[in-house]
Each structure stands twice: as C-alpha cells, then as structure tokens.
Amino acid sequence: MAGSRRSFVKTAAPLLLAQTSGVAQQAGTGPSGAGNGDAAIPAVIVWRHDQRVEALLGRQITDERDPNAGGYADAWEIVSPQSGSAVVSIFASAFLCEQSRFFHHPELLRRILLASRFLERKQLASGNIDLLTTNFNSPPDTGFVVHNVAPAAILAKRAGESAIVGSLAPFLRKAGAAMAVGGVHTPNHRWVLSSALALIHHWEPRQEYLKRIEQWLAEGIDIDEDGLYTERSPLVYSPVVNRSLIFMAEFLGKPALLDPVRRNLEAALYLMHANGELETALSGRQDQNTVGSMGVNWMGLQYLAERDGNGVFATLARRSEGEFGDLALSMLLPVLQQRSTSEKPPASDYRKVFGNASLHRIRRGKRSVSIFTKGHDRVFSIRNGDAVVEAVRFASAFFGKGQFIPTSFSENENGIEMTQTLSGPYYQPLDAPEFVPADPAAWTRSRLQRRRSEVCEINQRVRVKEFADRFELEFIAEGTPHVPVAIEIGIRQGMVLEHVRTSPASPDTFLSTGELVSIRGMSDSLLVEAPASRHAYTQLRGALPKLPGPALYITGFTPFKEKVVFRTT
C-alpha cells in the first residue's frame, strides 16, 4: 500500500497543482501579489500559507483504500492523528480566506473532508487520540489536535460552510467529552486542555466544559516573579501556554489571563540575543540548548502589540510575521490582522537576573552573555554578533564525578564567583562483619556503614567579571594535587578558529597554544586569551560528553588557576 501511495502522490500532486495554476497566476508568485482585493491580513502571511498548502497537497494520502487516507507520513514514515489535524487547519483556513489563491477551491474541500474522516477513524472510543511517538489515550495530545481542528470549525461556522462543520462535529464532540474528564502529564497540559475546551465551547457550548476549565484554573497560572513558566521552555512550551491563555481570555471573557502572557513576553525580551535568537539553556524541556528565535512568540507579540499599544512587541511581531505569521489564527482573532501600533526598538543594553533560573543575562549591543550561577554545567556563553560560543564548561578527572556544576555562588564588586566542592573517599571493612550479597544496591547500602579513609577533596571555582571590552573568567581547582582538568569552550558549527592546534581526540577538538585565538563568523569575531594546554586529555572520565560542534580546550593539572579572556572586536 505504501508503494501505491507514493506513486499516487507523484502523479496526482502535479495534476492538482496544474488545476490550481490558473488561480495562482492571477494571484502572482510572491508575497506582493498574494491577495485578492484589499488585504486585511498581511500578504506575506497568505503567500507563505499558500506555499504550505502546495507542499501538503503532495503529501496527503488520498487513496481511500489506504487506512491512513486523509493523513500524511512524517519523517519516520508514521501517519499520526496529528497529521490529519494539520491538514484540516491548513486547508480549511486557505479554503475560507478570500485572499488565498485556494479560496473555495473544490479540491481543497475534498481534502478537508478526507482528513476529517481520518481523524474520526483515529479517535479512540474514549474520545482521545494517541501520540504515537510516546503518549497513548492522551487527553493533552487530544487538546493539541483540537487547537488545530476547533478554529477550523469556528471559521467554517462563521462562513456558513456546513459541510466542513458537519464533518468535524463528531470528532470535536467526542474530544470535548474526553477532555472534560481527562488528566495531564505536565504543567502546560492544564492550559492546553482548558483552552481546547474553551474553543469547543465557543463553537458549541457545554456547561461541563466550563466546569472543567474552572477546576484547572483554580490551581493558578504557574508563572514565577521573573515571568517564567514552570517548564522554562522559551521555544516550545512558553508559546504554547501563551497561546492557550490568549484563547481563554478571548473566548471565555477572562482578560486577567493576559497578564501572565505579558509578563512572560517581557521576560523573553531579556533572553533575546542581538539576532533574535533566544537563550534556551534554562529550559527544562526538549528545546534545551537548541537554536530558535523570538518569532515563535508571534501570536502573543502581535496580539498584545495591538491590544496594549506595545511598540516593542509590534517591532518583533512584524519582523517575524513572514516566517511565523499564522493565517488560521489571524482569521480566528481579527486583532492579529491590525497593524496600528507604532514600532519601538527593544532594549539592547541591560543586565537582568532570573533568580529562580539562576541565570544572569547581559546585553551590550551585539554582545550577549549568559551566566548560570547554580545547577547548570554550561556556566557561561558569549556571542558577538554572529560569532558564537555556545557554552563554557569546566571539569576535572576527579573520581569520575568532576564535572563543574556550581552549588553556590556569590556576587560583589569583583564579579560573580561560583563554587563546587567534591570529595572522593575510600572505604574500610565493616566494623561488624556481615555477608554482602552480589547486588549493587547492597554494596551501596554497605558503604553507609563503613568508615572512610584516604579522603580526597577538590574545590572548583569559576569567577566571571565584566569589563568595557571583555569578560574575564578565572578557573580554579584546588585540593588534591595532580588531577587533570579541562576547560571546554563549545563553539557553534560554522565558526572559523585560528591559532589553535588539533587534538588527537577528534578533528573538531582543538587545544590552546598560548596564542590569541580568533573565533570568526561571517561578519563578526571573538578573541580568546588563554594559556597553552598542558595535556591533550580532553574527554575526562566522569565529565559530560563533548558538546556538538568544534570545541577549544585549555588543560592542566591541579593546583590549577588560569584566566580565559573573551574580547569583542
């Protein structure tokens, strides 16, 4: 069946695109021509959405003999219920948008109805769906799907498109009943479920939906004094929570739920680098240490830019609408179509402390620094424009546990000092001899009863101080002598390093020579002053694996006290 599906797509997709080409020619081939008449929604959003429609037309399985007809396969060749909801959302918004070149195209209607039948088949008797990569009979993942399907049903109802409304109604009613009693895994799931119920309630009111929403809201929104949600996930779950709260504020008449959205977006301004990327090392979810931009917050930025007259939000929303502007959301919430707020540049010179996240953020124009003072192995990162040091880490080969993860810190006029103290004991025979079974847990328990001897200790510290043109980092490891240590400077892929020597460990592992090191991007650079490495043992036993991409190491032995200086040019 998979083979027949592939051949069908190869032959049918070009035919469909040929059928729609007349409409495409009328509308033009780029953003400037992507509208019919006076465009309320920015043309670039409609144009980009139409490109997504074109791409999806060729991916959707349309052979109705295939049990997955209506969905499409992902990169792992799995056809999930989520794929059907994406088809519904993308195709329905284009079908209902007068500016789209797919407006009222009959083939799109056929594809929407095909996807709605797919969703019905994939829905479980409980009303939930499966997330085939990890979650089964999942109310939260049902909520994420409803975030796609319910807006399509609402828009179709507004437009009087009874065929679309009728095709989606069975799925939404069963999903609503399931979410009205279903549970969650994570903090954000509460707001995903609540907002999904709010959307269905707006489409077709039910008191049980409101009752369940109030149960979740009674727990309070999980945002701290710094504006960060529990999961501290700038690229994935903060935007999800913000979207959910906006839906509830809009469709339940609860404007107070916009306050955490404002606070979270204000916090995100201080996580933003000069190029719009966000600091992600603080995340507790899958976006940790990944690359992504402030544009993921487009909905919240645009919504509050117009509702509050916030010029900074307006600037960031308009910068990102070509990539992140959403047609379905723009049609659902007319405020997202407005562009009345004057733009204002975001701050680019500040020092901001996120206390609960143990994060100090510093911006000085193009220069951007993150310092994690407790609980993180990536204690420092710096970038100057497009020259990027992703992380600085420190470790010792101390009893297989010497990765520097600070447990305390202090701050004064000399900067920030982070500390960690480790011990490595040996163990004596039991004072009261007893048999120790061949069981790792039994051995571990027995160590609590044994006297310790030959106790080794190491104190590791990192000091960070800012100057006008540089940051100085001092690395100290004292106590047990002769312990190999290594400072790791992880560099973004694509940077050019000069005045280093290649380590025998791997082609992208480099050692300092004592010369001034240059780290160059396309336009900008960082200079690194560091002593010459004293050995090539970079992947220390007990240290975390080397970071992806090139890495520069400065190595030595305890007692160790060396300074690394990052200069911007």
pLDDT higher than 80, residue 193: yes
Query: What's the rounded mean pLDDT across residues 133-141?
Result: 93
Lowest pLDDT segment from 38-47, 175-184, 364-373, 433-442: 38-47
Predicted local confidence at residue 22, as pLDDT: 39
Q: Which is more confidently placed, 15 or 170? A: 170
Measured distance CA(285)–CA(474) in Å, rounded: 31
Predicted local confidence at residue 7, as pLDDT: 34
pLDDT higher than 60, residue 361: yes
- For 508, the token pair is 């992208």
Lowest pLDDT segment from 24-33, 251-260, 482-491, 547-556: 24-33
pLDDT higher than 70, residue 338: yes
> Residue 247: what residue type?
F
pLDDT higher than 90, residue 157: yes
> Residue 36: what residue type?
N
Predicted local confidence at residue 556, as pLDDT: 98
Query: What's the rounded mean pLDDT across residues 295-323?
Result: 97
What band does 414 get if pLDDT is binned at 50, 70 and 90?
A: confident
Query: What's the rounded mean pLDDT across residues 133-162?
Result: 96
pLDDT higher than 50, residue 12: no
Query: What's the rounded mean pLDDT across residues 355-372?
Result: 96
Q: Enumerate the β-bridge partners of residue 526.
A: 519, 568
Predicted local confidence at residue 221, as pLDDT: 97
- For 537, the token pair is 């043992």
pLDDT higher than 70, residue 17: no
pTM value is 0.90
What band does 191 get if pLDDT is binned at 50, 70 and 90?
A: very high
Measured distance CA(180)–CA(366) in Å, rounded: 48
Q: Write the Ramachandran bin of 493: left for phi over 0, alpha for psi from -120 to 50, otherwise beta.
A: beta
Maximal CA-CA distance, the chain: 91
Among 472, 496, 566, CA closest to 528: 566
Give the single-character DSSP code of 229.
B
pLDDT tens digits, residue range 456-493? 999 999 999 999 999 999 999 999 999 999 999 999 99
Number of CB atoms found within 10 A of residue 502's CB: 13
> Which of 22-47 are b and which e, b meaning 16 or more Cβ less than 10 Å from the residue's Cβ?
ebbeebeeeeeebbbeebebbbbbbb
Compute and round to an integer the Cα radius of gyration of the chain.
Answer: 28
**What spatial distance separates the first Cα and last Cα of the chain, rounded to whole Å?**
59
E strands present in 211-365: 349-354, 359-364
> Which of 389-407 are b and which e, b meaning 16 or more Cβ less than 10 Å from the residue's Cβ?
bbbbbbbbbbbebbbbbbe
pLDDT higher than 80, residue 77: yes
What band does 544 get if pLDDT is binned at 50, 70 and 90?
A: very high
Is residue 199 within a helix (H) or strand (E), and if so which, with residue range? helix 187-203
Residues contacting residue 429 through CB under 8 Å, at least 6 positions apart: 450
What band does 505 get if pLDDT is binned at 50, 70 and 90?
A: confident
Measured distance CA(377)–CA(282) in Å, rounded: 11
Among 35, 123, 144, 33, CA closest to 71: 123
What band does 413 get if pLDDT is binned at 50, 70 and 90?
A: confident
Measured distance CA(261)–CA(250) in Å, rounded: 13
* Cβ–Cβ under 8 Å, residues 403 and 377: yes
Is residue 555 within a helix (H) or strand (E), and if so which, with residue range? strand 551-557
* Cβ–Cβ under 8 Å, residues 316 and 35: no
SS3 384: strand
Predicted local confidence at residue 482, as pLDDT: 97
* Cβ–Cβ under 8 Å, residues 300 and 259: no
pLDDT tens digits, residue range 91-129? 999 999 999 999 999 999 999 999 999 999 999 999 999
pLDDT higher than 90, residue 8: no
Q: Enumerate the β-bridge partners of residue 129.
A: 138
> Residue 490: what residue type?
G
pLDDT higher than 80, residue 11: no
Predicted local confidence at residue 40, as pLDDT: 85
Predicted local confidence at residue 415, as pLDDT: 93
Q: Write the Ramachandran bin of 391: left for phi over 0, alpha for psi from -120 to 50, otherwise beta.
A: beta
pLDDT tens digits, residue range 201-231? 999 999 999 999 999 999 999 999 999 999 9
Lowest pLDDT segment from 4-13, 171-180, 282-291, 350-359: 4-13
Measured distance CA(485)–CA(529) in Å, rounded: 18
* Cβ–Cβ under 8 Å, residues 428 and 453: yes
Query: What's the rounded mean pLDDT across residues 8-19?
Result: 40
* Cβ–Cβ under 8 Å, residues 161 and 93: no
* Cβ–Cβ under 8 Å, residues 386 and 523: yes
pLDDT tens digits, residue range 19-64? 444 333 333 344 433 333 344 899 999 999 999 999 999 999 999 9
What band does 130 get if pLDDT is binned at 50, 70 and 90?
A: very high
pLDDT higher than 90, residue 428: yes
Long-range own/partner contacts, residues 120-127 (CB < 8 A, 24 or more apart): 120/170, 120/171, 121/67, 122/71, 122/81, 122/84, 123/81, 123/171, 123/174, 123/175, 126/178, 127/174, 127/175, 127/176, 127/177, 127/178, 127/179
pLDDT higher than 50, residue 5: no
pLDDT higher than 50, residue 15: no
Predicted local confidence at residue 23, as pLDDT: 36
What band does 256 get if pLDDT is binned at 50, 70 and 90?
A: very high
pLDDT tens digits, residue range 379-411? 999 999 999 999 999 999 999 999 999 999 999
Query: What's the rounded mean pLDDT across residues 361-373?
Result: 96
* Cβ–Cβ under 8 Å, residues 416 and 464: yes
* Cβ–Cβ under 8 Å, residues 128 and 182: yes
Mean pLDDT (the chain) is: 92
pLDDT tens digits, residue range 57-76? 999 999 999 999 999 999 99
Give the single-character DSSP code of 373.
-
* Cβ–Cβ under 8 Å, residues 276 and 319: yes
Residue % of the chain over a pLDDT of 90? 91
